[in-house]
Each structure stands twice: as C-alpha cells, then as structure tokens.
Amino acid sequence: MSQLPQQKQHVWWVLAALFLIVALNRAALPASARLQENERPAIHIIGHAHIDPVWRWTKDEGHAEVLATFRSAVARLNEYPEAAFIASSAQFYKWVEEADPALFEEIKALVKDGRWNPVGGWWVEADVNCPLGESLVRQGLASYFFMRPGRSLIGSAPARSKRSYCPSTRKSRRARSA
C-alpha cells in the first residue's frame, strides 16, 4: 500500500478491513448463506455524510457545512464515475436549492443517473429514540411536501422515500442482552 498515492491509501485500508470481516465471519454463517467455492463476495461501499446541522454548530455553520459537503460529494462523484452517494434530510436539499441552484441541478442530474440517492423521508435526520409521535409525523410531512413529484430533485418519482434511514437510533446494551 505504500506505493499508492497518500489520498488513496485509506480506501485500501477500508477494503482490507471489510475483507477481514467477511473472512472472519464466514465460518459463523449458516451453510445456506455461505458463498460457494467459485463465488466471490460482493461488497458495496456507498458514500455518506452524517450531518447534524445544529447539534454543535450554529444554524449558519450547519448550513455552510451542508453546502461544503454536497459540493465535495458532487466533485467526488465526478472524479469517480463508479461511485454512489446517499444523503438524507430534505432541509439540506432546500438549503442547496436556495443557496446554490447550479449545485442543486448537478445533484438532480446525479439522482436521475442513480448515483445520488436521497434517503430517509425526514426533514432532518430525526432522533427517534424519544420524541413525541406528532413531531415524527411533522418531520415526515415536511419532507413529503418538499420532495413531491415535479417539485424538487426526485422529479417524477413517487413523493415517498423508498429507503428508511435513522442513523441516530441505537439500542442500549442492556436491551440487547435482555
């Protein structure tokens, strides 16, 4: 790996770690899930940036981080045509649409090509561990109306996200062991 350019070495470390995980877990898989001798495992790595826009930032800092992240993601997708990216939070797309319409159009083209995938169906990535049900309904409705067909970046697609996405949801160790 030392012969690779410095900026590419991290990719190979990630792939090596994934290969090790697959190899170590192979014996633990049920026979029906194991690969046959002539098969190769397929590992899909999809880029994503988990952004909490106002958790430890001001709203303006969160807004700037979203724009910088989306610009960087578009640049990486242009640099690596085989790459894909997912991004959640309808609020982020609204910020991009208002602040940088050209970037928004680039993202729309990547969505159409299947390389940029809006996920989640929330206005922002929701903490679903303990909110009131009404707040979750409002989150979903705000996203739904922003992403409706013909209105925004998913164009004529259904106005519902086909992928659930809740990165902040975790079970406690106690709950798993009980």
pLDDT in tens, the chain (178 residues): 445 455 566 666 676 776 666 666 666 666 666 667 777 767 677 788 888 887 788 989 999 999 999 999 999 999 999 889 988 888 999 999 999 999 999 998 998 898 998 887 788 877 777 777 888 888 888 888 887 766 666 554 444 555 556 665 544 333 343 4
Question: CA distances (Å), 33 to each of 26, 37, 111, 138, in order?
Answer: 9, 13, 32, 40
Nearest alpha carbon to residue 165 among 86, 93, 107, 71: 86
The count of other CB atoms within 10 Å of the CB of residue 146 is: 18
Helix (H, G, I), strand (E, B) or coil at 97: helix
Which strand ranges, in their side-by-side order, compose the sheet holding 85-87?
47-48, 85-87, 116-118
pTM: predicted TM-score of the whole model, two decimal places: 0.69
Identify the structural domains of the chain with CATH numbers, from first to last: 1-45 (no CATH), 47-146 (1.10.1240.90)
Question: What is the token pair recorded at 56?
Answer: 């430890």
Name 60's Cβ contacts closer than 8 Å, sequence gap at least 6: none
